[in-house]
Structure 1
Amino acid sequence: MDRLTFTYATHQIPLECDVYSSSTYPPDSPVFLFFHAGGLVRGARNCVPPWLVQVCIYRQWPLISASYRLFPQANGESLLEDVTAAYEFSRKWGGGAERPVVVGGASAGFFCAALIAHHLQPQPLALLSITGIPTFRHPFFNSSNFIAPECLDELKMRKYLDRSVEVGSEPIAESMIFSPDSLTKSGGRNTGYQHPKPRPIPPSGNLYRYFLSKNAYIPMLGSVDPGFEWAESDSQRLRLANWPITIFIHGNKDVDVGIDVIIEVVRNLGPEKAKLMIAEGQTHLFEATCFLEDKGVAMDTVKCAMKELDEAVSRAQK
């Protein structure tokens, strides 16, 4: 497996993606398009869960991890512009016939994935939410929710509110940066690999908590976020029928994205379109540094979700 970097679009600034692939993969295999975590305000495209890279290697799916412009300098329309370009790049990967794409994301990265299903055609083969945010219309994001460990005011956030337009380059945690050296050539875990010593991470992640406390997300991106209540309307049956099967992986102790958010969306979409895998006792991004070889509740939940994903992709390709 190789990791190559490409500029997939230029929207004010160059937008890059990392492609994990091999020349031995079939030219018509599905592509997995991934959007990183970070509340739309931080994170980096090199923060890909190792287990997800392994999943794609074993299925011979090229994995594309795309950057996107961060908030608040970006807004809903510009985010949609970025994910549209990333989706088009993924569909054309390899230069041959247009390819089917599975789209997923971690945390707010899944909001990017959901935008594709809401606004673009053809639909993805399936969607994968990794402790994700499917919509910001839930009361969790609009109730002055305060989850920061300390008081956050505008003065403390000014550095990030006034920054230039940029993509994510700051990992949520150093341990979340994926290195191809952590895997063997066959895709298994390289037990001899040692992650570099962590460096201090700037506190821009508190911008997510700041926006949450200010109910700021819907004013920034509500124009492109239709939510999921439409899925329960009789007039939207065709739209629901065309919606890709969506697999949710979520911990029931997640305070950054409450599980009630996911339960409501699963209810909206119904059992034919939404599959929820709950990891008991797990918090936000609980699987972010895990490998498929790891034991325990975290990876048991992920493996169950991958069975559902395989079934969804197989069903969509028939």
Structure 2
Amino acid sequence: MVQKTTEEYANHGMPLKCDIYTDDTYPKDAPVFLYFHPGGLVGGNRDLVAPWLVQTCIQRKWPLICPTYRLLPQAGGEGLLQDASAAYEFARDWNPLPGSQRRVIVGGASGGFFMAAIIAHQCEPKPLALLSIQGINTFHHRFFNSSVLLTEEEIPPSTMEKFITGPMESGDDMPRDESAFVLDKLTADGAKNPDYSPPKSGPNDCDSQRGMLYDFYTFNNSFVDLVGSVDPGYQWAKRPDAKDRVAQWPKTVIFHGNNDPDVELNVSEDMRDCLGEDKVTLIIADGQPHLYELEKFIEDDGPGMDAVRQSVARLDEIVASS
């Protein structure tokens, strides 16, 4: 039976923890899946993992590691890279066969995929594969540099000042979301638990406007200034001298809704077009908005779930051929 444990994977001025979903019977030569939570790099926490992803890992006996990381703007690009690198090394070294390290699939949802992308850009050896769940792969894309207004009205700087000038925070400092995953959502064999009833949620006094920093920074074209030092984008892949570098890029699977206002589909299309379809598989969820599958199970028949299952099947092909 799968159990959840929590370990500290690093301490970069504050303890950084990760949740590990695994079972003692999993083979020690199986890949580990390292997953970074959504939240636009300014919010969210490691509980924001979709049930279908936990099920996918259970069915394949892949340990699933979900880390907390420090948030923008205080962390900056170098802080994000430091946390991502530490989480990657932790995953590679987690309970392997003697004298070896784990192969690691790295994925993330929304802003969490930026953490996966900088691992692929900056770390060696490269991950076994990448999975983008409607993810942000770079902030050099025009979407983040065209004063896109994601809210009904422009957010005044005074509203965000306390978050911008406040102390360093991580996902552990964020309020628990009602979408948070708990193992009780699954049966002992990893199927959807038909008897699960979510707890009644009362008013959340800890709720904050911190997540609006994503909208604020997008409108003000601020993300490149915050993280550009670790974000090379993908235009380099079009240069004639980039063939070897492109060849080293891990196979990447993306699924993305074409009705996503928070991270437009072209962010993923541009990554595919730069790196090539032999490196990047993009599966489009027709009509679906951002993070439409966050509370879904792999067996659900809802709109867009076929795109999820196709992405998992493609990931299986990549792992099998590695």
In the superposition, the TM-score normalised over structure 1's length comes to: 0.96
Match of residue 55 from structure 1? 56
SS at match of 2:304: helix
Percent identity of equivalent pairs: 47
SS in structure 2 at match of 1:114: helix
1:116 aligns with 2:122: no
* Structure 1 residue corresponding to 2:222, chosen from 216, 223, 232: 216
The within-5 A match list for 1:202-241 is 202-241=208-247
What whole-Å deviation, never above 9, does each CA across 1:62-99 have from its counterpart, x for those lacking one?
00001111001111111101000000000000154200
Q: Is 1:253 equivalent to 2:256 in the alignment?
A: no
Does 2:174 match 1:168? no
Using the size of structure 2 for normalisation, the TM-score is 0.95
List gaps (5 residues or longer) in structure 1: none
* Secondary structure class of the residue paired with 1:16: strand
Provide the residue aligned with 2:5 in structure 1: 4
Unaligned runs of 5+ in 2: none
- Deviation digits for residues 118-176 of structure 1, max 9, x if unmatched? 01111111000001000000010011111113331111112211221111136698332
Match of 1:148 among 143, 148, 151: 151
Q: Is the 8 A contact 1:5 1:19 kept in 2?
A: yes
Confirm or deny: 8 A CA contact 2:32 2:102 kept in the other structure.
yes
Residue 278 of structure 1 is matched in structure 2 by 284
The one of 290, 311, 315 aligned to 2:317? 311
- 2:35 alignment partner, SS class: strand
**4+ aligned runs moved over 3 Å, structure 1:** 169-173, 198-201
Give, in angstroms, the shift of residue 56 of structure 1.
Answer: 0.1
Using the alignment, how far apart are the partners of 1:244 and 1:143 within structure 2?
29
Q: Any residues of structure 2 matched to 1:40-79 within 5 Å, and which?
A: 40-79=41-80
Q: Give the aligned length.
A: 316
Higher deviation after alignment, 23-32 or 88-97 = 88-97
* Contact kept in structure 2, 1:127 and 1:244, CA below 8 Å: yes
CA distance in 2, matches of 1:86, 1:170: 18
Question: What do the CA deviations read for 1:182-220 (whole angstroms, capped 9, x no partner)?
Answer: 100100010111112234442221110001111110001
Judge conservation of contact 1:47–1:171 (CA < 8 Å) in 2. Answer: no
The answer to whether the 8 A contact 2:29-2:96 is kept is no
3-state SS in 1 of match to 2:119? helix
